[in-house]
Structure 1
Amino acid sequence: MTRTISIIPQPGKLEVGSGAFALTAETRIFASDASVPMGYYLARLLRPVIGFQLPGERTSTSPDTANAITLRLTPGSGKKRPAPESYALSVTDAGITIEAPRPAGLFYGVQTLRQFLPPAIESQTSPSGVAWTIPHVSIEDAPRYSWRGMHLDVSRHFFSVSFVKRYIDLLAMYKFNRFHWHLTDDQGWRIEIKSHPRLTEIGAWRTERDGTISGGFYTQDEIREVVDYAREHFITVVPEIEMPGHAQAALAAYPELACTSGPGEIAVWNRWGISKEVFCAGKEATFDLLEDVLAEVVALFPGPYVHVGGDECPKDRWSACDDCQARIQAEGLADENALQSYFIKRISRFLSKRNRQLIGWDEILEGGLAERAIVMSWRGTEGGIQAARAGHDVIMTPTSHCYFDYKHADRPDEPGQWGVIPLKKVYDYEPTPAELTPAEAQHVLGSQGNVWSESMPTTRDVEQMVFPRLCALAEVVWSPRGQRDWEDFKARLRAHGERLQALDVEYYRDQEIWPA
């Protein structure tokens, strides 16, 4: 591969020819009936920058013109049925063809095509003197994992709808297909719940230690806007509503749902870390509110998953709470860990009745796992291994490799918190633990990067912590394991920096990739 080709993630099979195809004012886009929306998407992507319009046509046959971009759905049949998100891309003198079994594959083929164009294609203006050429290539490509995710915490710091949509744009470009939206925590409740308005009237606003007020929330119309936008980019939004811990913002709004052993008055927390204030597991009113909340969440998010957190739930209040102890006795539970399992299983049953699958951090293993629950393994790989061996699906996201709030390098002036995760460590990550048998390994859906925003008050902070590690993770979850090559990736990423600049991404200048 030449240095001028810097596709990320690396396609599964790529052959490069000697010529190039040039986009001109005469180039046309042809799309079969089901491919028409993707034809419009491609035209919208190219038109503002290249300076001329690419007219589109609907066709059920191959075009009779050579200067064309053709998008075609080819579902296949029998044993040769291709992978759902796969695509094939061909560029010759005659034109460009993208074929895929499903629209998602066409979309990913377009993302690859855009990276073959000069980086100026990503700019917001129409530059002069740019040759819009694409090298002759033949590509057959499909993802390694079905879960290719990125997370964003909007509770510790709130980010606008426009930024969330930009974040989705960037995820889509690198073929991620899951957006894990962390909407509630001790420091802020960010989703409008019409049946319980105090969650945002009170829970969305935090008095900082200097007396200033910070916060915000998304209206239900804004949530729908983001969900629809993500769907158009073949990304499923996974909402996270934290319970039973990380609930202080909700309890500030409804303090009667805290334990009897609590302080009485509760404010939205203005510190980081783990609050002892958790939902009381002994009060029926707790489940009444959470079921109301989840009913509205399910109506807003059509995807099959709801993340309920389940992590870092201190048991101090439960141990001293009359209601929680009464629940333990009435249900014949062994201890507070079993009470947490009762809590999660009850919520899981509620979601199952609404055709949603519960996801939780690996603490949901404690006391027994809810039926069909998916485990997100963050405290190393042990939780994922345990869940996979028990027949549960898992998403691997250990702090050791996938926490993008950690520093890029071990230097005192580096932004970030907790630890250090260099770019190469992300690139070297293997999501499927070697300890699993082939049958157990089938339960590893994939991996995702997590972005906790305590140290990221601005959107530029988020971008600097995420990039270029997102690029490395994209290759981990998409490309074949056997062809991963650090030196080749470095060369591609070095060239890819110009594209990130054209996108106005505030990426971290890793000194090994971009020496000062």
Structure 2
Amino acid sequence: MKRHDFLAVAATAALFLCAAMPWTAHAAPQPGDHNGPAQTAAAADAPPAALTPVIPLPARVEPRTGQFVLDADTRLVARGTEATQVAHDLATRLQRSRGFAPRIEARARSNAVTLVLDAKAALADEAYALDIDTRGARITARTPAGLFYGAITLWQLASADGAQGPTTIAAQRIEDAPRFAWRGLMLDVARHFRSVDEVKALIDQMAVHKLNTLHWHLTDDQGWRIEIRRYPRLTQVGGCRIPAGAAGRNDDGTPRPYCGFYTQAQIRDVVAYAAQRHVTVVPEIDLPGHAQAAIAAYPQLGTTGQAPSVSPDWGIHTWLFNTDEATFAFLEDVLGEVIELFPSRYVHLGGDEAVKDQWQQSASVQARRAQLGLKDDMQLQGWFMGRLGRYLQAHGRRLLGWDEILEGGPPAEATVMSWRGTQGAIEAARTGHDVVLAPAPALYFDHVQSDGDDETPGRLPVMDLQSVYAFEPMPAELTAEQATHVLGAQANLWTEHLRTGERVQRAAFPRAAALAEVLWTPAARRDWNDFLPRLVPMLARYRDAGFAAADSAFAARIAVAPAGDGSARVTLANQSGFGTLRYTLDGSAPTPRAPAYTQPLALPVAGQTLRAAAFAGERALAAPRQIVLDAHGLRARASASLRPCKGGLTLRMEDDAPREGVRAVVTADVFDPCRVYEGADLDGVRTLAVRVGQLPFNFQLWRDLKQVVTRPATVPGGALEVRLDGCEGPVAATLPLAPARGSDALTVLEAPLPAHPGRHDLCLVFASGAYDPLWMIDEVALLP
């Protein structure tokens, strides 16, 4: 059965909404309304977050009088295999969240949730209607997907209070359908491999948020992660790399491989698991670039005849598949096995960042271009993609590619995924191509979520929760006809800097919850201030599921500054401005009864520990953050709090040691690790302590390599120079790097600082004579 005909879903969903009678967020029933009794004035005034604490917010909600008590005596009424499967899923969710699983029956009764699958219902594929009154609830849908989403909505209503046992749900009628048909996440497992269980955990959360497409990035320069039986070396060789730096060697100096791939049985398992949750898995086999792992396995696929290593580096690589007939035979063999594993209508073939240096230097590739009568190598790539697109089309599939495929003339049936902003989507839609928006940086979830010192690794600038919620998928430049080509959008989880499953989960949610509402809920219904209270129960569900969602939007940010007379001025805030900040001064974790922060605190610098956290009523919104109020804490700044000198490619990067356990995370500019400590209060400061480390320069920057700044070493082994009042100012201190060169761990360097009363900017520059290793600053402390 075809579950996701995207164009049909989009058109039908639009018809479903447009055909409805005019309504507001809480419209009163019209005279003669037969769907239930008129609501009370109090119900009509209830905000969506109180009446319908659901994410994504449904398209239409009509409040009704009364409430439904869902308890252990409630029954789930379902007939037919598909409706019964949804009932079993709902019962399992209620068992976990409420502590009881309603029995499933086939006969109608009161005090029941009735699940009706009606193929003739006037609803879109993923739409549903949910009626709740004092006697029970009724979910109606035309397809299993719609029935599943209706059950998810009811479960969210039933679990909003986070308690066990019976619960009450406000009476209401919900008519719901998605705004967009493609609601997705992309997971990159080539850079860092994720286990089957970790992929399933992500799918579980996608289903809860009515996200329906997992784009699985399975191949790249750093790894080939899908078993292809006809070519076993793709995983035997291409599935392993030697990480750069200390992480890639054992204690005795021997290489320590990083490996991982999915067997075809595991692939089928994941695809089936996703299908049960109405998530389509779209595979990506990246070509003609991002092919280094494949060419490492089979060098004849490249243009040089040489076998590169599977890359330990991040960035833009130059290894491309050649254009020989044997290579197309190989790629068609690969796609043939991919098609057998993935029933998705779409197969993603990449097409991005395929720099043409090797093609330009290859006599055989240039001869092929001339034979085809193509004017340049971009047209050659268009021909390359078109040939494989025709193979997919002949097998009932459709090519999906990144927006670079527009440059060489995309195949007529190609769907374009726009990542370089939204311009690619606009151009594609105007020329009749379907499009999916996945623009950087707005929907690149490898970007950090805050500028906090405790933020996990990722790219900058910050892409916070509110910025995702504010994203508008429909480009305003498109006409109504062109807009029909916009299938939807997805967020991309690139994993260069997301080494662990926990970090992938933190990067994904709750930002994906915000995106889910953007893609499901009508634009006029979206309200950031209403979304935040509805997110509170969702945060609890993440914790209950053992899912490590980020709390960056709610985490307490503690700012401290000297106030004179041995005291400090402490201010508290959080990114979203939501919740009540509470604090303690004895090192204990704040509770809902701890003092509420209302104004800046004047506290003695006496070694006490301040801890703070945000609460919504009795519920904690984030883990506590803390600071020790002593001389070090007062004037120490972590790397995230230091300003980049120029601002090139700034990343939150993880140290490469230790191999296991917690590693330091620092903020640095790959092009120039110079940092500025702004407004340093140097009164009474006599010592400068800087914690530094070194990373392997594992960045493929292609033509941007010339932008990397190096400074000649002024002392043997190089030094960290501290300049006063600007990066061209006088050198106030020199800290030799020699003590840190032989260490994989971080090293504290100290130097005396001559008296410079008042406030000054301190510019910290590495004069090491080379850019590899990449020197980094973890913390700068000004000591008395």
Q: TM-score, normalised by structure 1?
A: 0.93
Percentage identity across paired residues of the two chains: 47
Deviations 1:321-364 (A, max 9, x none): 01111110111111110110011000000100000000000001
AA at the equivalent of 2:55: I
Q: Does 1:273 align with 2:315?
A: yes
Indicate the residue corresponding to 1:388 in structure 2.
429
Q: Is the 8 A contact 1:75 1:82 kept in 2?
A: no
| CA distance in 2 between partners of 1:148 and 1:436 (Å) | 20
Q: Is the 8 A contact 1:401 1:425 kept in 2?
A: yes
| CA distance in 2 between partners of 1:380 and 1:41 (Å) | 39
Aligned with 1:154 (options 154, 175, 189): 189
138-147 or 21-30, which moves further after superposition?
21-30
Instruction: Map 1:104-503 to 2 at 5 A.
Output: 104-119=145-160, 130-209=165-244, 210-211=248-249, 212-260=256-304, 264-281=306-323, 283-411=324-452, 413-415=454-456, 416-503=458-545
Aligned in 2, Cα 1:488/1:197: closer, same or farther, shift over 3 Å? same
Q: Is the 8 A contact 1:203 1:250 kept in 2?
A: yes
Deviations 1:161-187 (A, max 9, x none): 011111111001000111100000000
Aligned in 2, Cα 1:50/1:118: closer, same or farther, shift over 3 Å? closer
| CA distance in 2 between partners of 1:423 and 1:170 (Å) | 17
| CA distance in 2 between partners of 1:411 and 1:41 (Å) | 39
AA at the equivalent of 1:448: Q
Q: Is the 8 A contact 1:120 1:499 kept in 2?
A: no
Deviations 1:455-492 (A, max 9, x none): 11111101111111101100010000111111111222
Q: Does 1:54 align with 2:96?
A: no
**Deviation (angstroms), 1:42:** 1.8
Q: Does 1:25 align with 2:46?
A: no
Secondary structure of 2:71's partner? coil
Q: Is the 8 A contact 1:183 1:239 kept in 2?
A: yes
| CA distance in 1 between partners of 2:460 and 2:388 (Å) | 31
**Deviation (angstroms), 1:44:** 2.6
Indicate the residue corresponding to 2:594 in structure 1.
none
AA at the equivalent of 2:91: A
**Deviation (angstroms), 1:49:** 4.9
Secondary structure of 1:402's partner? coil
| CA distance in 2 between partners of 1:377 and 1:137 (Å) | 39
Secondary structure of 1:133's partner? strand
AA at the equivalent of 1:24: D
Indicate the residue corresponding to 2:53 in structure 1.
6
Q: Is the 8 A contact 2:438 2:489 kept in 1?
A: yes
| CA distance in 2 between partners of 1:197 and 1:488 (Å) | 52
| CA distance in 2 between partners of 1:118 and 1:256 (Å) | 57
Aligned with 1:96 (options 137, 141, 144): 137
AA at the equivalent of 1:310: G
**Deviation (angstroms), 1:496:** 3.2
Secondary structure of 2:261's partner? coil
83-92 or 418-427, which moves further after superposition?
418-427
Gaps of 5+ in 2: 1-46, 250-255, 554-573, 582-612, 614-784
| CA distance in 1 between partners of 2:87 and 2:346 (Å) | 30
| CA distance in 2 between partners of 1:378 and 1:408 (Å) | 19
Q: Aligned-residue CA RMSD in angstroms?
A: 1.7
Q: Is the 8 A contact 2:186 2:493 kept in 1?
A: yes
Deviations 1:220-272 (A, max 9, x none): 00000000011111111100000000111111100111103x6x131100011
462-471 or 139-148, which moves further after superposition?
462-471
Q: TM-score, normalised by structure 2?
A: 0.62
| CA distance in 2 between partners of 1:25 and 1:503 (Å) | 22
Q: Is the 8 A contact 2:90 2:155 kept in 1?
A: no
Answer 1 or 2: which has greater strand percent: 2
**Deviation (angstroms), 1:48:** 4.8
302-311 or 501-510, which moves further after superposition?
501-510
| CA distance in 2 between partners of 1:176 and 1:48 (Å) | 21
Q: Does 1:75 align with 2:115?
A: no
| CA distance in 1 between partners of 2:55 and 2:101 (Å) | 27
AA at the equivalent of 1:56: I
Q: Does 1:44 align with 2:124?
A: no
Deviations 1:112-157 (A, max 9, x none): 1111123587xxxxx7x54333222211100000111111000100
| CA distance in 2 between partners of 1:109 and 1:459 (Å) | 30
Q: Is the 8 A contact 1:119 1:502 kept in 2?
A: no
Q: Is the 8 A contact 2:100 2:165 kept in 1?
A: no
The higher radius of gyration belongs to 2
| CA distance in 2 between partners of 1:279 and 1:9 (Å) | 42
Secondary structure of 1:291's partner? helix
**Deviation (angstroms), 1:501:** 2.1
| CA distance in 2 between partners of 1:421 and 1:484 (Å) | 19
Deviations 1:172-225 (A, max 9, x none): 100011110000000000000000000001100111123321120000000000
Secondary structure of 2:187's partner? strand
Pick 1 or 2: higher relative contact order, CA cutoff 8 A, min separation 6: 1
Q: Is the 8 A contact 2:65 2:133 kept in 1?
A: no
| CA distance in 2 between partners of 1:249 and 1:270 (Å) | 10
Secondary structure of 2:355's partner? coil
AA at the equivalent of 1:422: D
| CA distance in 2 between partners of 1:250 and 1:136 (Å) | 57
AA at the equivalent of 1:296: E
47-56 or 454-463, which moves further after superposition?
47-56
| CA distance in 1 between partners of 2:143 and 2:48 (Å) | 30
Indicate the residue corresponding to 1:86 in structure 2.
127
2-11 or 431-440, which moves further after superposition?
2-11
Q: How many residues align?
A: 500
Q: Is the 8 A contact 1:377 1:395 kept in 2?
A: yes
AA at the equivalent of 1:443: H
**Deviation (angstroms), 1:18:** 5.0
Answer 1 or 2: which has greater helix percent: 1
| CA distance in 1 between partners of 2:548 and 2:65 (Å) | 34
Q: Is the 8 A contact 1:3 1:495 kept in 2?
A: no
Gaps of 5+ in 1: 122-126
**Deviation (angstroms), 1:85:** 0.8
Instruction: Map 1:498-513 to 2 at 5 A.
Output: 498-509=540-551, 510=553, 511=574, 512=576, 513=578
Indicate the residue corresponding to 1:124 in structure 2.
none
